[in-house]
Amino acid sequence: MHKSLLYFFLCIFCFAKDFNIVDYFHGQFKDIYHNGSHGIIVPLNTWHNRLAYDDEHISRYNEMPWGLGYARLVQNDKEQYGLYAVVFEDSNYHMQSMFGYIHSYFLNDHKIKFSLGYTVGFVQRHEYYYVPIPLPLPVIGINLDRLSIQSAYIPGFKNFGNVAFTYISFRF
């Protein structure tokens, strides 16, 4: 499943006519560096999809991930993008870190904005000896000025993956 998502994003970026992925991200990173706002990230919830997990697994998982993160974000009328790093307690009560790039597109033009987007980056987990693992994920969110609540969904199969990671971020 993860390989399919990765190939999907690579096809979109690499085969689009007149699109150079290196130039695109170079421009984005330059804009983040020069025009980005500092932000904090506080994990709120790691919800395990009850349709994909049995009661035994649910009963032993942590769904309240204590942690903290930093972001550098650019926001305009149509989108929000930036770089982030966050460390928190995972489902098995071990430290987990995530770092990467996030890009969300606003779906409406009101004070409260709904967004859809993606994040690409890396995750490091205890089970995998903290080796960085690629992380392409879909993201949804609700934004009010400098405050955002966003969720990334980790796809999976029975008793593995199928987790919605929800966090709040505030830009200074």
pTM to 2 decimal places:
0.86
Determine which one of 48, 104, 115, 151 is catalytic. 48
Q: Does any domain span residue 78?
A: yes
Q: Does any domain span residue 147?
A: yes
State CA 86 to chain mean position distance. 10
Query: How many independent structural domains does the chain possess?
Result: 1
Q: Note the pLDDT tens digit of each residue in 88-140.
A: 999 999 999 999 999 999 999 999 999 999 999 999 999 999 999 999 999 99
For the record, the structure tokens of 16 come out as 């689009």
Give φ, ψ of 16 to 5 degrees.
-70, 135
3-class SS of residue 59: helix
Q: Does any domain span residue 12?
A: no
Q: Does any domain span residue 59?
A: yes
90 is an active site residue: yes
Q: Does any domain span residue 92?
A: yes
Q: Note the pLDDT tens digit of each residue in 7-63.
A: 666 666 556 566 788 898 899 999 999 999 999 999 999 999 999 999 999 999 999
48 is an active site residue: yes
Determine which one of 90, 115, 148, 169 is catalytic. 90
161 Cβ contact list (under 8 Å, min separation 6): 1, 52, 154, 155
In angstroms, the Cα distances linking 69 to 103, 116, 119, 151 are 17, 21, 15, 15
Strand partners, 133: 123
The pLDDT assigned to 20 comes to: 82
100 in Cβ contact with 74 (< 8 Å) = no
97 in Cβ contact with 69 (< 8 Å) = no
Q: Does any domain span residue 8?
A: no
CATH number at residue 64: 2.40.160.20
Q: Does any domain span residue 14?
A: no
Owning domain of residue 127: 20-171
The pLDDT assigned to 168 comes to: 98
The pLDDT assigned to 5 comes to: 58
Determine which one of 31, 37, 57, 91 is catalytic. 91
